[in-house]
Amino acid sequence: MPKAVVKRAYRYRFHPTEGQAVELSRTFGCIRLVYNRALDIRTNAWRREQRRVGYTDTSALLTAWKQTDELGFLKEVSSVPLQQILRHQQKAFTRFFDEQANYPRFKSRKRSRASAEYTRSGFRWRDGRLTLAKMDQPLAIVWSRPLPDGAQPSTVTVSRDPAGRWHVSILVETTIDHLAPTTAEVGVDAGLTSLMTLSTGEKITNPRHEHRGRVALARAQRNLARKAKDSNNRAKARVKVARVHARIADRRRDLLHKLTTRLVRENQTIVIEDLAVRNMVRNHNLARAINDAAWSEFRSMLTYKAAWYGRTVIAVDRWYPSSKTCSHCRHLLDTLPLGVRQWTCPGCGEVHDRDVNAARNILAAGRAVTACGDGIRPNRHQSVGHLSEPPFQGGRNRNCPLRSGRESPVLDDREGRQAELPPESGCAASATSFCGRLPFFGPVG
């Protein structure tokens, strides 16, 4: 059975002593100060001198800060988390310059996540007991599950959430056996009424965790609003609000873990839509429900679990008209309002459940992507509601006409001219078999 060697994080609750809590809180404060000072220097250097400051420069500045009277207290905490936060800042700027993220923001004591990362030189692991630098006692960890036999932590991250709970994440290298291969495939359509609809016809009910916890959340927020600003009672009330949010998040995460694990165990290939959730939440009428559904977290979990266990996840183009295409005869409707949950195909008379039909089309599109390349999307230059053979746009492989983008294997995107696959094409046969199951091209298996 094939195996995968992966780095896996195991997260546990722990209960610090009073001295450990004070030491970690000081470390969090120093991390925040170093990060904000370094970010301010980077920003001003660019604004005033058009000069970039890198990790090497900020690391040298940190050493200099420790020698000053003003910031000499930085020597009293472990140097490892301070260096790590500067490395993370460098990565944040790299992502910004690569246009993968926004400009890094300053950290806030009240709003930012309180965490400290220790590499191998910043902790001691002996006989299953973890002791951090600057501490004389090991952490009292609640071992809710064992670490793999013989595991040696490479990185330890300690964090405190707004609800006041302490967690430690232990990163280890471990070997995971791939699951036995299976022929099962499934298409998944994400929604709000049903959290997920599968191409098998099964619908996963949306538990609406945030909606169910809304009464308790509103009560806690009203109690917070009545407290005087900057008072101890307000701080206690803020923790109560955070605990309600934490319970909601824990329930949501638990459901997603169970759902993604089940899908990975039962199916060799899972096909989903490449949804732009960040754009979708701009709809203020649906933003709350979309955030509660946590589609992005679902995709993230599904992706890394599939990689661990030897499964495949395929994401089809978000513009692919999965809902308004008949999965039986391939007729494409011009419009299908969101309020219509069931419709009858005018081409063949088949009655479709909107979500089940979409899931089946997503699965068929995923099969075509496997054979023909990335990019399944409709023709945007003209209506294709009455075309028997709408276009297929290719992706990245230059040697395959189905992927090249230079010519469409079925219909030219602009002129509407019929195009044919060259008979010598290496993927012509597989394209014929798979595209026959793709919506627009023929019935699903």
The residues that are catalytic are 189, 273, 355
Residue that has been written with the tokens 């609640």 in this structure: 142
As a whole number of angstroms, the longest Cα–Cα distance in the chain is: 82
Distance between CA atoms of residues 17 and 301, nearest Å? 34
| Exposure on the CB side of residue 152, measured as CA atoms within 13 A | 3
**Residues 6 or more apart in contact with residue 364 via CB below 8 angstroms:** 187, 327, 437, 438, 439, 444
CA distances 233 to 133, 162, 164, 245, 257, Å, are 34, 15, 15, 19, 36
Residue that has been written with the tokens 């604004």 in this structure: 47
- Give yes or no for a contact between 272 and 315, defined as CB atoms under 8 angstroms apart: yes
Alpha-carbon dihedral sign for residues 49, 51, 53, 57: negative
Structure tokens at 88: 């993370």
- Give yes or no for a contact between 44 and 205, defined as CB atoms under 8 angstroms apart: no
- Rounding to the nearest 10 degrees, give the CA dihedral for residues 183, 189, 190, 193: -120
Residue that has been written with the tokens 């959430």 in this structure: 161
Burial (CB < 10 A; 0-12, 13-18, 19+), residue 70, is: exposed
First to last CA, the chain: 30
Structure tokens at 47: 């604004």
DSSP state of 215: H
Nearest to 241 by CA among 187, 317, 161, 295: 161
- Give yes or no for a contact between 332 and 441, defined as CB atoms under 8 angstroms apart: no
- Give yes or no for a contact between 264 and 302, defined as CB atoms under 8 angstroms apart: yes
Nearest to 200 by CA among 265, 266, 109: 266
| 157 φ/ψ angles, rounded to the nearest 5 degrees | -120, 125
